[in-house]
Chains A and B, each alone.
Chain A
């Protein structure tokens, strides 16, 4: 492994490295703590490889610009935090409806509203799922360490291209700003999914919204030989607006099913000591670092703790969670919000009364001690 491949950098930079590795061509964004470094680094790195960077006038325009650029064939990304993420929701819905590949990074900070810009939280989990209006599906991925930030960023671009969907990378301020070692893989080590373009020839009818047999939808770049329409209205397979009930029903089912039916292919997770665990911690993002610490420090003392680290939050892997937690006495969800993933875990397991929350919501990073104290309370052992 070359020395140049080893870096000691912030998580935001690890995300940038992952995006560039995946083939990012175009970034449009707006500065907001704690994601600004992503924009700054890309303003520097993208033109070095002939890519394009633009700082737009706001987050709404940033989403518009990346969607436009994606339609010319570029791999695109934007990055923001809570308040910007709120602004992006309408355009995010547009990208979902028009099936346009793009990656949106939200480095979470304390909210709601202006909140606490320089402190961590994991409060945007449900917003990532339901922030935009209407029934829809969305893919949301997170990571707890820089190697995984890199890999999940590459994974996000791959998912985005495979399913023609926006993907949200939901990191948080601790992972975004802390410094850690990253090893950048060599070219070819991680598989990349490239833009699938149609093989339909010029003059032959091209349907931008007609899935192939394998479910994928070949695209055609703006500027090439097929002229079609892209709209946020319900549309037929040529992209033209329709309010025909059959078409509306079919399209909505397609938009949701293409994600929900592929939960297993999209899901990523890590498991530690789950086989004989009596208490299973479920965590994600930077909280998972503390959860891991608890499990790894207590196991040698004979405590049967286990950890399920989720990397895919949406679509939520209900079956996976049910299966992994079947034999546990307690399931404790560790997160820095008021139980957003805990609610999903409760829905997943056969005995919701065995699911508890170990959380912290004051802008301070949740520590192993915090988790241990809550575990003791849950087990009736006092503090």
Chain B
């Protein structure tokens, strides 16, 4: 299977509670918490679409959309 290509980090700031789990466990250090404690993709081009942030998020607040999802 081809490596998934990142399309976008879909983040719902209303659901995000700033727990920091996704930020800490991202293997490529892509994510950060903003000044208002919401996650944002600080280095989106480093994202390898492992989706661990999406799988671990307790609030279903982050989704990794890849090119493959469109198909």
Direct contact of A and B (CB under 8 A): no
